[in-house]
Amino acid sequence: MSVAGGGHVVFITEGGPEVGLGHVSRCAALARAAIADGGRVSLLVSEDAHVASVLDAVPADVVFVPWQVDPGSALRTVSARVPDVIVVDSYAASPAFLASLRGLAPVVAVDDLADRPLPVDVVVNGGAGAGRLPYERHPDTLFLLGPRYALLDARYAEAPGPAPGGHVGRVLICLGGGRHVETIVAALGAVDRVFADCVVDVAAGPFSAGSTELDEAARAARNRVFIRPGRFGLQTLMLTADVAISGGGVTLHELAATATPTVAVCMADNQRPNVRAFDEAGATLAGGAAGDPALGAAMESALRRLAVDGALRASMGARGRALVDGQGAMRVARAILRPAVSGR
């Protein structure tokens, strides 16, 4: 694979209530990095107002195509844009679809499942446990695995300030962009049992915000709870939080980059390797899994450890930042847009 800087990168991805906004957020971060590196960008996504809002700030050609149900239309749309590189970030992308795209241009798969053959030129997985996954290795495929390649917005490359000391006065709950009301309510309960007179910011995402159950739980809490419906301003909330409760996807990497001590909750099976690797590195405390009857108790136990141990909070923040430096998107953009990977 050899693509000169300034090439045209076409993204194919998805988002919505069931899959959340993680795929779209990763692609948006990589798209901005590609543009900063001199590339041009188009994005093909299924139509969704919340997905569109995430992509509003990306200076790119956004095309709404139901590619999951009409792959032929997607192939024609991609071909018409004469891509130099195609980036696909979706569990719905079959090996046959990826192979068809590869007939148009080199293909990059952003994948954290390793559950199917990936007939592509580059595989990207920024998860901390990515190296342990059973990818089918091929000599003509470049694997960019691990937190060095976590696809985060360039803002997260800036080193955070000194860790705050003293008591925990602000907690951030960010459990993904999909519908996760029950898990968020459980997290609010755990925070209430451990802390009093805290500010609790709940980054509920557009698909959970507005829930009657969530609003009632916020009103009943003994702490001051603020429901935040969007991702905008999330970095600021991370930097001001003393402790966070997070899912194991993109947001966990963002929290690591901001050195925020975090209780990690596994929101889906594909997050287990990432959550386990962060925990083993001492960068998070395990907080259980969504849907587990013991979830509330697991979160509460982890929060109690953090509440009384400022040194542990500082250590976790430093280890998280050592894992994720926020420069992964630029590393990937350079790998796919510059001749450094030629000869493959």
Could you tell me if 97 and 76 are in contact, meaning their C-beta atoms sit under 8 angstroms apart? no
CA distance 65 to 56: 17
In whole angstroms, how far apart are CA 275 and each of 182, 199, 208, 251? Answer: 20, 26, 23, 12
Per-residue pLDDT of 61-82, as tens digits, reads 999 988 999 999 999 999 999 9
Residue-wise pLDDT tens digits, 215-245: 999 999 999 999 988 666 789 999 999 999 9
Dihedrals phi, psi of 287, to nearest 5 degrees:
-120, 20
Residue pair 12/87 in contact (Cβ under 8 Å)? The answer is yes
Nearest CA among 172, 262, 302, 183 for reference residue 225: 172
- Say how far apart CA 55 and CA 288 lie, in whole Å: 32
Domain covering 8-152+326-341 assigned CATH 3.40.50.300 in the classification: no
Q: How many CA atoms lie within 13 A of 195 on its CB side?
A: 29
Q: How far apart are CA 75 and CA 107, in angstroms?
A: 13
In this structure, what are the phi and psi dihedrals at residue 259, rounded to the nearest 5 degrees?
60, 40
Q: How would you classify the pairing of strands 243-247 and 262-266?
A: parallel
The number of CA neighbours under 13 Å toward the Cβ of 198 is 27
pLDDT tens digits, one per residue of 184-217: 999 999 999 999 989 999 998 766 767 889 999 9
Reported as a pLDDT band with limits 50, 70 and 90, residue 52 is confident
**How do the domains of the chain map onto residue ranges?**
8-152+326-341, 158-323
The H or E element spanning position 122 is strand 122-125
Assigned CATH for 158-323: 3.40.50.2000
Burial class, 245, CB count within 10 angstroms (exposed 0-12 / middle 13-18 / buried 19+): buried
Give tens-digit pLDDT for 95-134.
999 999 999 999 999 999 999 999 999 999 999 999 999 9
pLDDT at 341 over 60: no
| pTM for the model | 0.91
Catalogue the long-range contacts made by 275-282 (C-beta closer than 8 Å, 24 or more residues apart).
275/248, 276/129, 277/127, 277/128, 277/129, 277/132, 278/128, 278/248, 278/252, 278/320, 278/323, 281/128, 281/319, 281/323, 282/315, 282/316, 282/319
The whole-number pLDDT of residue 43 equals: 96
What is the dihedral angle through the alpha carbons of 215, 217, 223, 227, rounded to the nearest 10 degrees?
-30
Fold equal for 8-152+326-341 and 158-323: yes
pLDDT, position 339: 53
